[in-house]
Chain A
Amino acid sequence: MIRFENVSKSYDGGSAALEDMSLEILKGEFVFLVGASGSGKTTFLKLILREEVPDQGQIYVAGREIGRLAPSRVPYLRRNLGCIFQDFRLLPNKTVAENVAFALQVIGRPRSVIHSQVSQVLELVGLGQKGARMPDELSGGEQQRVAIARAFVNRPLVLLADEPTGNLDPATSQGIMRLLDRINRTGTTVLMATHDVGIVDTMRRRVIELDNGTLVRDQARGVYGFDATTSTRGVPAITLGVARDGEPPTGRLAAVRARRGTR
């Protein structure tokens, strides 16, 4: 679904935000993108969205190399990608239903389609009764659900989430994660950048860790923390049978907990 081949990206004058990144994310996967602030997570997502273009290497989304995509084709790429953010990015002067409908309106969907799709997706995110509310009348968790509804209403192939729980308390975050999990089970690939240790540890999904723009870990059922004893630094996870299958060794978990305790 998404493939990076030796992708490097640096911003004007800065050091590399991403360096020689190669990895593949398959259709229907749920992937966490973790790493310290400034490690390149947002850059990674922006490259997929083609908000940024790589300096080197190729990026394939749904089989198409997007680096050489004509600017006029970019909107059609984005119609296959849903997107949510830490700050929700809802339109404050539109109701919940209008916010969701807007995403279909501006890609020229007919009104009848919009109507049914919007109420359907609002049901899905658990806001069936709140379509007429304004965003500022909703809790943070509900606002993020609206954002998810907006991102998902056009049934994208991939859902990109940039720290979607960054502004939410743990209980609310749990709800959001359940929703993302449900969306993932419809076959949608989910790629989520996060700082949230608890979430990554409980979900047990594939974890890609970035450090200073380089891939330092790619683990099939990973946890947030990095454990030196099972370090996969610099080695593509695909080749790591240990990390792919089943639970990691208990020693590893303990090490992670210890690390977290010292923070």
Chain B
Amino acid sequence: MLQLPFEYFAKETASNLWRNRVMALAAVLTVAVSLSLVGSSLLLRQAVNRQIGEFGANVSLEVFMNPGAPRQQIAEVRSMIEQTPQITHFTYLGPLQSYEQAKRLLASSPAAVSTLSPAVVPTVFRCQLATPQDATALVATFSNGVPGVYRATSPLQSIHVLEQVANVLQVILIAIALLLLISSLVLILNAIRMAIFARRREVSVMKLVGATNWFIRVPFMLEGLVQGLLGAAVAVVIVLLANVGVGYLVRHYHVSVLSSSVLPAHDVLMTELLVVAVGVIVGVVGSSVAVRRFLEV
């Protein structure tokens, strides 16, 4: 029925973009930078969450015994742990097991491993807590002069710090990204405004000969959409590279603590889709506002 003149729209949009290339480039780059920040901060958030999940699932409280602590003391601590209702489950790593684990953790520095022996490695009770919130109180209980206890630690404490750092970082990144998104919106709006101005003669002829409003608007809307999409495309590549880069660092430097920061493809894909969606929204909103404000049809 209605023939859509795709060729006409494509040509108009391309020639508008080319005519306005400096403004268009500025808009595209700003979109790219802001969306890269949005994407990376989302990936950071997911990585931190995974990392926390990992720590939290494995162990919530570790009670280290003095190396070579007498059986008696170990038995007392064991019964003390058994009588603590907040601890749902625990395992005891004896001297050999603790030594094996220490070797694994220090695999990247053989010099340190050579100084270890089962006799000098503290044995450890690994406990799981019903609720992570109890961690701090229990760490205090077990550190305070329980005979034979070297020290009690909870990764949940450092996780808490990690989480807070990540939160602050994410808030900062999102704030910067928002500012940049607003500027990219303004830049796209302005680019479209200039395109409309450059085409005012064509637009007035179009109105005169009876072109419909949407027909007049489409090339300008497309122009904004293309700018948003191009920016998003650049951001997608940057976010992908960032993720690949973290993976490389983890593998190459054996930063095994961060191994769960390498996100599965599915999470990365979802983040990239979101980046593209935000790019489209910024482009469409910017050009819609420009078309509404400056194109009197």
Which residues of A approach B to under 8 Å, CB–CB?
49, 71-72, 75-79, 81, 83, 89, 91-92, 102-103, 105-108, 110, 150-151, 154
A92, A106, A110, A151: the one contacting B206 at CB < 8 Å is: A106
Residue on B nearest A103 in the bound complex, by CB? B209
User: In the complex where A108-B2, A108-B3, A108-B5 touch, is A77 in contact with B205 (Cβ < 8 A)?
Assistant: no
A83-B208, A107-B211 given; name 4 further pairs at CB < 8 Å: A91-B201, A108-B4, A151-B209, A154-B210
- A110 partner residues in chain B, CB cutoff 8 A: 3
Interface residues of B in 103-123 (CB under 8 A from A): none
- B201 partner residues in chain A, CB cutoff 8 A: 89, 91-92
How many A-B residue contacts, CB cutoff 8 Å? 58
User: In the complex where A91-B201, A105-B5, A110-B3 touch, is A150 in contact with B210 (Cβ < 8 A)?
Assistant: no
Q: Are B5 and A75 in contact (CB under 8 A)?
A: no
- B215 partner residues in chain A, CB cutoff 8 A: 106-108
Q: Are B209 and A106 in contact (CB under 8 A)?
A: yes
Q: Are B202 and A78 in contact (CB under 8 A)?
A: no
Is residue B131 within 8 Å, beta carbon to beta carbon, of the partner chain?
A: no
Cα distance A108–B207 when bound, in Å?
13
Q: Are B8 and A105 in contact (CB under 8 A)?
A: yes
Min CB–CB distance B224 → chain A (angstroms) = 20
Number of chain B residues close to chain A: CB under 8 A = 19
Q: Beta-carbon contacts of B1-45 to A below 8 Å, as 1s and 0s?
A: 011110010000000000000000000000000000000000000
Which residues of B approach A to under 8 Å, CB–CB?
2-5, 8, 201-202, 204-213, 215-216
In this complex, the member of B3, B208, B213, B216 whose beta carbon has the largest number of chain A beta carbons within 10 angstroms is: B208
- A78 partner residues in chain B, CB cutoff 8 A: 207-210
Q: Is the interface of B mostly helix, strand, loop or mixed?
A: helix
Nearest first, the 3 A-B pairs at minimum CB distance are: A78-B210, A79-B210, A106-B211
Q: Are B209 and A91 in contact (CB under 8 A)?
A: no
Min CB–CB distance B82 → chain A (angstroms) = 79
Min CB–CB distance A219 → chain B (angstroms) = 30
Cα distance A64–B3 when bound, in Å?
27
Residue on A nearest B215 in the bound complex, by CB? A106
Cα distance A173–B205 when bound, in Å?
23
Q: Are B2 and A79 in contact (CB under 8 A)?
A: no
Min CB–CB distance A31 → chain B (angstroms) = 20
- A151 partner residues in chain B, CB cutoff 8 A: 209
Cα distance A72–B213 when bound, in Å?
7
Cα distance A160–B211 when bound, in Å?
18
User: In the complex where A105-B8, A108-B2, A108-B3 touch, is A79 in contact with B204 (Cβ < 8 A)?
Assistant: no
Residue on B nearest A110 in the bound complex, by CB? B3
Q: Are B213 and A75 in contact (CB under 8 A)?
A: yes
Cα distance A110–B5 when bound, in Å?
8
- A154 partner residues in chain B, CB cutoff 8 A: 209-210
